[in-house]
Structure 1
Amino acid sequence: MTVTDPTATATTTGNPPPDVIRSGYAELIVTDLAASRWFYVDLLGLIVTAEDDDAIYLRAFEEYLHHSLVLRRGDMPALGRLAYRVRGQDQVDAAERYFRGIGVDTRRVPAGATRGIGEAVRITDPLGFPVEFFYDAEHTERFTQRYDLHHGNAITRLDHFNVMVPDVKAAHRYYTGLGFGVSETIIDDEDNVYAAWLYRKQTVHDVALTGGDGPRLHHIAFATAERHQILHTCDVLGALHKEHHIERGPGRHGVSNAFYLYLRDPDGHRIEIYTTDYYTGDPDNPTVEWSVDDDRRRSFWGHAVVPSWYTDGSRVHDLDGRVVPLSAPAVREAERTGVIVGADGFAIATEGDQKIPFKLGEQV
């Protein structure tokens, strides 16, 4: 997939990008609402703001907007939409001008097109993802101090999205053109970019860019206040004999320094539970550059990563609900023995000159 640099087009059209505040919400297409409700409400403890026969609207304990996650019934699992909140309703107008100016599919949607969300703009971004920009949203009760309702693994807020793209460097240009800062990257000595973490709020990221067949959603991440809340989720899954929902972790990332746990929901969508990253709010916040050869980037403790974490992702719908075709990276194999590029680049074992193939679920 070739992505043009939208910053050059924006300069010629004179339309500045919208002022994005943060990642706002995601919509996942799920095949069984009851099973999904068990996972997100009974297990993870998200709060139900509203629900009907076709959708469930969820938020975390510190959130006061109507929702940060929508589960919508469908025939096959997919990403329905990512959404960013902008600084004011005038910035919804700015988003419409900007994206029309760079020639992407742009649609104005009325208030209530998504329950609880005001008038918004939806686009198919240059990377192939369905994205909404909104400001107005219905307010609801913030449960920060409703400790009587908190589970032992209480989730505080939506933190970030991670998307899989064939050309990370081009996607990096697109997001920096939107005004996103860059906290960390994974690179090699030939200026190849394997992954990047970009932010608008004052944390490590609102979106991460991961190499691979795309467009696909790698994961949605929710934050907790403390590590023990993540460990409690693992204990609950073990007690219920549902430990198969744990894909990776718990552990600590090198990139972002975050303590993490990756789960797969009943439809296979990947959810990260995440805590203890760092502040990025100063204007001269430095970008941390990790070598693709430094295995600590994935796990600061040196743990192996299951191949599914690199290979699996959720397919993506376009603005009309159709599955978006995939494009593959132009280069899959690095110029070094035994290294195959996937996500942030990963090494697999070799026998002489023979690369050992891996199967889903096996340890690298």
Structure 2
Amino acid sequence: MPVPTHIFDPPFHIVRCSHVVLDVADLAASRAFYEGVVGLRVTDADADAVYLRGVEERQHHSLVLRKAAGAACRRIGFRAGTEADLDKAAAHFLRLGLPATFVNLPFQGRTLQVTDPSGFPLEFVASMEKRPSSLQKYADYQGVRAQRLDHFNVLAPEVQQSLDFYATLGFRLTEYAEEDGPDGRIAAGWMHRKGNVHDLAFTNGRGPRLHHFCYWVPTALDIIHLCDVMATSGYLANMERGPGRHGISNAFFLYIRDPDGHRLELYTSDYQTMDPDHEPIRWSLRDPRRQTLWGSPAPKSWFEEGSAFADQPQRDAAFVANVIVAS
């Protein structure tokens, strides 16, 4: 299938992924997990929501936990360049027939909400309230001391359609997994805005669903430390996959599940991609090094489970990808 063409002059400027909003059934349990185990900082909290950020982050939040009847992902957020870019984005989406609405949300500047053609609910902000970075408050570090939000990965029923759409918004493909043969279809793609491997990735599967969101950590040793913390603090069963090193992205990783089943990746050691002539890397869908450079396949849950987007109907993938699954 065709690799999308890079567009260097998109209709509006997106800087990076910004924040994610999750519905959780037990707000206290989720707060304890993300604050005490993952090591995020609580910026604000009340009876209905908790706002958290990584130790490096100066924006008010990168994760919002909302008390709800059941688990779901409410929206994934991106940072636009300027207030003018928000207006350009609204006009662009309306031209495409995608209803776009400005809303007022706590601690965020003017916020544009829209649902993309595949059913992924998005919001764009150009500003948030600021808070001091906690990066050098080392005595306060907990858990894996996650530094900053790095990316989202979503389960997409039509991966090619999603790649083509986000390419028109200026996202650039860095790596992709494709079936072998002349008619091979792309089953996964990694796209970026901020100059590393990805801000947003698409994995073939029933959706739209959130597969995972990811925080960047300083070193692989931080991830190993998190394994020790989880194994000795009642969260052994919440470790789903890893630690290991991806072939795609070269990142050292660990996937864990929060008390509601939302999947979080901790991640480090990827690479830069900002050069305009950076060529995307192709992986065969059947190459065992793609999932893990050391050849260990992912578990079945990693391919089949994800967080529903609230109020969004799901549909099966356009094709069944022949991936390697751990027995």
Band the TM-score falls in, shorter-chain normalisation: over 0.9
Give 2:29's aligned residue. 35
- The within-5 A match list for 1:324-343 is 324-332=312-320, 341=321
Q: What stretches of structure 1 of length at least 5 have no aligned partner?
A: 1-6, 8-14, 318-322, 333-340, 349-362
Quick check: 1:104–1:126 contact (8 Å CA) kept in 2?
yes
Q: Contact between 1:105 and 1:125, CA under 8 Å: does it hold in 2? A: no
Question: Match of 2:293, SS?
Answer: coil
Using structure 1 for the length normalisation, give the TM-score. 0.85
Find the aligned partners of 1:347 and 1:144 in 2 and give their Cα distance.
Answer: 39
Over the matched positions of the two proteins, sequence identity in percent amounts to 42
In the TM superposition, what is the alpha-carbon distance from 1:324 to its structure 2 partner?
Answer: 1.1
TM-score, normalization by structure 2: 0.95
Equivalent of residue 130 in structure 1, options 114, 121, 124: 121
Task: Give the match for residue 156 of structure 1.
Answer: 147
The Cα of 1:145 is off from its aligned counterpart by 1.1
Q: Is the contact made by 2:245 and 2:252 (CA closer than 8 Å) also made in structure 1?
A: yes
1:68 is aligned to: 62
Classify the secondary structure of the residue corresponding to 1:297. Answer: helix
Pairwise CA distance, 1:16? 5.3
How far is the alpha carbon of 1:268 from its aligned partner? Answer: 0.4
Q: 1:176 aligns to what SS in structure 2?
A: helix
Larger mean CA deviation between 100-109 and 208-217 belongs to 100-109
Letter in 2 for 1:92: L
Specify the structure having the higher radius of gyration (Cα). 1
Secondary structure of residue in 2 paired with 1:282: coil
Q: CA RMSD in A?
A: 1.4
Partner of 1:242: 235
Q: What letter corresponds to residue 266 of structure 1 in structure 2?
A: P
Residues 171-210 of structure 1: pairs in structure 2 closer than 5 A: 171-188=162-179, 189=181, 190-210=183-203
3-state secondary structure, aligned to 1:67: coil
State the shift of 1:143 in Å.
1.1
Q: What SS does the aligned partner of 2:17 have?
A: strand
What's the counterpart of residue 286 of structure 1? 279
Residue among 50, 71, 75 paired with 1:56: 50
Pick aligned residue for 1:170 from 161, 165, 169: 161
Q: Deviations over 1:24-61 (max 9, x none)?
A: 00000000001101110011110000000000000001
8 Å Cα contact 1:16-1:94 kept in structure 2: no
| Whole-angstrom CA distance in 2 between matches of 1:184 and 1:304 | 18
1:277 to 270, 274, 284: 270
Q: Residues 113-138 of structure 1, C-alpha deviation per residue, up to 9 Å, x if partnerless?
A: 2x210112100111101100110210
Residue in structure 2 matched with residue 23 of structure 1 by the alignment: 17
- Work out the CA distance in 2 between the residues paired with 1:168 and 1:330: 9
Match of residue 147 from structure 1:
138
**1:97 — aligned with what?**
91
Q: How many residues align?
A: 318
Identify the residue that residue 80 of structure 1 maps to in structure 2.
74
Match of 2:223 in 1: 230
- 8 Å CA contact 2:23–2:67 kept in 1: the answer is yes
Structure 1: distance between partners of 2:93 and 2:178: 29
Q: CA deviation at 1:347?
A: 3.2
